Every structure is written in structure tokens, then in C-alpha cells.
Amino acid sequence: MTTVTTAHKNAVGTAHTRVEGRDKVTGAARYAGEVPFADLAHGWLVLSTVARGRIREIDTAPVLGLPGVLAVLDHRNAPRVETDYAGLMGSKPDPTCAVFQHDRVPHLGWPVALVVAETSEQAREAAEALVVHYEQEPHDVDFTGEHPDAYALDGHMPAVAEKGDLDAELAASAVVLDAEYTTPEEHHNPMEPHAATARWEDGRLEVVDSNQGATWVVGELASLFSLDPASVRVRSEHVGGGFGSKGVRAHQVAAVMAATVLQRPVRVVLTRRQMFSLAGYRSPTVQRVRLGADAEGRLRALEHRSVSLTSTVHEFVEPSAGVARVMYDADAHHTANRVVRLDVPTPTWMRAPGEAPGSFALEAALDELAEKCGIDPIELRLRNEPDKGPVSGLPFAGRDLPACFREGARRFGWADRDPRPGLRRDGRWLLGTGTAAASFHAGAMPSTATVTAHPDGTFTVRIAAADIGTGARTALTLIAADALRVPPERVRVRIGDSDFGPAMIAGGSMGTRSWAWAVTAAADELRDRLALGTGVPAEGITVRSDTTAAIGALAPAERHSFGAQFAEVAVDVTTGEVRVRRMLGIFAAGRIVNPLTARGQFEGGMVWGISMALHEEAIRDRATGGHVGADLAGYHVATHADVPDIEADWIEDADPRDPVGIKGIGEIGIVGAAAAIANAVWHATGVRHRSLPIRPDRVILAGGPSA
């Protein structure tokens, strides 16, 4: 007879090493490109070498005669797919993933063919030998921001939000700031490349993939190929990073096409260079911020306008102005997100979409306003704390930003800061400190989960969650253990399989919260059944939950995680080098399930903020329409040497409306981090940098106190 332990010490809130950690470090954990299949063939994508035009001819005959080559798929012979549907995100799919459907080329790096061979090496050799002839057309990849053809575009929020008379409030303001900020094109570059293997077995399509949501991929593949979703299974057990890029891409669709044609398993893996054109990216932005305040620094007017780019084949907006709708109120509050269509690949979600670049502009502008007003930057922000959603008017479901600033200021030593810029030195280095606020939406989406009790006293949780390196598998183990009132060692969590039922993707900082809701509901019901029963039969007892009704019943509110970022930098104005000496982030992000992996999430986001502020910048060649240095040699990211002292911590902030108290932590770590660094550079040098990254040449050209 199995009984549930009644005296139980909570697992949630205690540091716990990853339950799959040993498998990962020993190589037992297999990623999508490593899972073995019998009779496996390999596909290699061929990408366009022109930025705009039409395919005139593809010379496949010589390639088909090469050793090991099995097939070449292109627009003349590939299976047809359906694109007139709305997917999980509520919009039609990006045609980039609907490969080989026509002869048009809308950007450099567009998939024009797939070469399939017995080995990966043979497929690559043949793909590189394939000759494609084009009718080339003029292209435009030049993003300047304020473009006459820019237009407002709704994304996951309305494009425009307005209240009050902006011009009147600006005119009546004692202090006015009007500044433009720019951020460059940035790329996800997860450690594990995108990879998928497709095969048909007994009339059912199976795809082993690296993705951020098996439910998402099933839905898209079923719609594209006009299949019953029940006849598609997607497995994604281990994922080496995603950051928003691992949705449905060209390689999965190409693999399914090839497997359908050849009736054998086919694997397609993207190269690092291919990822720069096929995996999405963060659009560059040009943002204008106008602030008007009274003599005490209280905002009368706030305008935040952002322009980003999108492709000519699919609309995507980087909603950078949206962050202002949450952070600060004003009598006149105007925000707008617009896009320009160019001959480039389609951007996509990238860690903290909108908030990451938007917080740079807004929080840098707040720092400039504080200087103009002669008010401490933290005090200025506290004076403009709203008591409800500035645009929505909804109540906040917890807003502990002031507590984050107070705790962060105490630990960072903010009170000892001389506000005057350009005064502190350490040899050849000018020193400065800066701060910025952070926020990110805390949502939940319906999910399903099953929990099974076994006769030996153990439990198995099944949910189609995705652990993209966040530690979600471990967090769900702790959550299930507490819900079942047993030690974590008695719980096994299985994830990443669409056969486990629909579940939210790992995205929008909503994954763990959404999954925890479903796991807790199933575990609670199972525990009640066990308490009423006499034992567990040999086949076990399984309970399934669906949280659609519970989540739908949540009262409307502004639900966000918040945080305060602090940075100290050293600037050598002779060489232009900027070094981050230390960073501190204090967050109010709900109940922290696993402090060990949570700290890694916060710090990882902050490191990415360093990378964003000082290093990352993808440059497009106007002549070719492609990137200059589409690899990790030409695209610079922060390394260990760039991060000497970084600390993340949190305050108590459990959400009472959530069964576990979770809000979400995956993305807030990057929000505001770049602004804190930019503000620190100003404090060090007395010079404002409104364009990222703050490169050495920009520091030198901007000048500052003499060395």
C-alpha cells in the first residue's frame, strides 16, 4: 500500500542541482542532432546568394551524380504545403519556413534547395557544388529608422497607445528631454545549433527536434502538411539554448519533406552561418523619447516611439515602446511601435523582445532627465512610481520596484556616489556607476499534465514542457514533490514529448509558471485520491489536469516581474575600452523555485546585457544584403573576461494568485542592464552614448575628460 507523506519539508525554495546534470556532463543526454536512427539520411540546405530576385535555373544533374546523393528538393519537385492558417502565436507562419514553394528570392540566405545524401559530409559537398542561376533585382537592406514607408504594426500589444495632450504637457513642463537612441541587429546564437530529424512510421510522422515547445511544432507541422495533429509526434528532450529562436524553422519543414519523399529518416542541421539568416534575430531599432517634467521631476509628458524592421514576406514588430506603458505614468502618455519592410530575413522573438532594447532608451532617458532636474536617478524613478497601470489603468498584481532599488542601493553603496561625472579615477581608468529599472510581463497560459503514482511509492510527471537550459525540469521536480508532499527523489519528470498533451512553450517568461499550474493541479487531485484509496494497483494511478478554465478565470491585472540594475564601469578614454567592473541586480520576480538555477538565469540575462551594451552588433553589407562576419568570430559576445563580478539576488515577492507563487525570471535579467552600463559610462566620462554598442571607436570620438 502506498501512502503520501504528511510531514514534508518544502522542496521549493531550496537549492537543487539539475536532475539531468549527470546525464549532460557524461554525454548520456542526447541532443536532437545526436539521437541515433537506423537508415538515417542527411539533408543540407542550399541558401540563396542574392538578396532579391528569381531563381532562373538549378543545375541538379551534376549533383545527383555525386557519391551518396539521394535527392535534391527545390521549388519544382518539393511537396506542397499550406500556409493559410493562424498558428499558436495567432498569425500566419513566416513563409521562410514554407520552403521550396516558388522561385522568388526575398533576401540573401533564402532556402532554395535541400540536398539529401547518405552522410552529412556527402550532403554538404553536394550542396556546395550545386549551381543556382538567378535573375537578380535591386534590393534595399538599409535601415535608417525614420523611413517614409514606416507604418504602425500591432504585435502582442497594440501598436499605438495614447492619452492626454502631449504637446500641451511638453510646453507646460519645466524640464524637457528629447533624444534619439539606437540599437543594432542582434542574434540569439544558442550553443546548440537548430537540428531536426523526421521519419514516418506506421503512418505517423515523428520529429526529433531542438525546440522551445513540442506542442507549437506539432501544430505548425500539422497545418503546413495538412495532417491530423494526432498523427504527428514531436520529441525535444534536451535543448542547448533557444532564447526565442527555436520555433518552427526551415530545417524542420525540409526534413519532413525529404522524409516524405524518400520514406526514410532524414536529419537537417543548421550551420552557425545559416542560423544568421534562418533562425531569426532582434531587429535594429531607432527610438525617440520625449519627456517633460515639473521642477520636482514628476513626469507631465512621456512619448516613446520606436521603429524596427521586418521582411517583405512576413510582418514582425519589435515592440520597444511597450515597456513605457508599464514603468512610468504621465498626464500625457504616447507610445508607438512602427516597422519598415526591407529585403532582409524576418526578425523574431529574442530574449525580452521589446523590453530589452526599449528599456535601454527609456532608462537612459530617465537618467538624462534626472541630470537635467538635478535629482538622484533612483529618487527620480521613485517619484514617478505609478499606483496602477499607466496605460491600462489596471491594478498591479504586486509591484515591488521601490524595494528592489532600496535593497540594491544599500548593497551597491549608492549613497556614497558623487553624482558629478568624470571625477573618479583609478590610474588611467575613469570610473562611473549607473542604475536602471527592469520589468517583464508575468503571464500564464493553459497547459495539461499527468501525474502517475506507482506501487513502489514513486511518481512520474509527464508534461510537454521544454527545458532550454533554464533548469525547468528540476524546478518542476521540486514543485511536484511539494504538491505530492514527498521528497524530490521520489519524483521523475518527463518532458519534451507532444504525446504528453498540449502545454505552453518555453517563452515569454511563462513556461515554468504555466507548467507548474498544471502539475500542481494534477498532483493535488492525485494526492486526494490516494488519501481516499487503499493502495496503488500494478499499473499505477494516473491523473490528468487541464488549466484552461483556472487561468482563464484570473482577474485582469498588470502582472510583471520587476528589478533594479546597478553597474560600475571603468573607461579608458585613450583606447576607448570600457570594462564592467561589477554588476548587481535585485529582482522582485515571484517565488523563486530553485535558487541555484534561478540565479543562473538572472546572471545570464545580465551578462547578455553587458554583451548588448558593449559588444553585439550584426552589420549588413549594403551591396550584398548579407552580414559581415556571420559567425562567432565576426559577431562579438561577452566572455568570462568581460564579467569579473556579477551578482543577482531577489526580494520576497510571491504572487498570491499563482498556486506556487511564481511570476517568471527567464528574461527580466537582460532588461535595463544595458541602460545601467550606458548610464555608468556617462557618469565615468560625462559623455552620453545613445547608440549601442558602446564601441571603443565611439568612446574615442565622443571624447571626455583627458587622460
Q: Exposure string (b/e) for 127-166, b if CB count within 10 Å is 16 or more?
A: beebebebeeeebbbebebebeebeebebebbbebeeeeb
- Of 517, 506, 545, 511, the closest CA to residue 529 belongs to 545
Distance CA 561, CA 559 (A): 7
User: What is the rounded (10 degree) CA torsion for 29, 34, 39, 42?
Assistant: 160
CB atoms within 10 A of CB 21: 14
Q: What is the secondary structure of 465-530 as a DSSP string?
A: ---SSS-HHHHHHHHHHHHHTS-GGGEEEE-SBGGG-----S-TT-HHHHHHHHHHHHHHHHHHHH
Residues with Cβ within 8 Å of 358's Cβ and at least 6 positions away in sequence, in order, are 285, 287, 304, 306, 319, 320, 321, 322, 323, 324
Q: What is the secondary structure of 80-137 as a DSSP string?
A: P----S--TTSSPPPTTTS-SSSSEE-STT-EEEEEEESSHHHHHHHHHH-EEEEEE-
**Position 490, amino acid:** R
- Of 343, 392, 337, 308, the closest CA to residue 155 belongs to 337
Cell of 621: 553589407
Burial class (CB in 10 A: 0-12, 13-18, 19+), 68: middle
SS3 category, 412: helix
| Residues designated as active site | 667
Distance CA 228, CA 203 (A): 11
Contact 457, 2 (CB under 8 A): yes
**Position 361, amino acid:** A
3 state SS for 275-310: HHHHCCCECCEEEEEEEEECCCCCEEEEEEEEEEEE
Cell of 205: 510522422
Contact 254, 209 (CB under 8 A): no
Task: Classify strands 131-136 and 104-105 as parallel, antiparallel or unpaired.
Answer: unpaired
Distance CA 148, CA 6 (A): 67
CB atoms within 10 A of CB 189: 19
Contact 454, 536 (CB under 8 A): yes
Strand partners, 178: 290
Cell of 366: 530617465
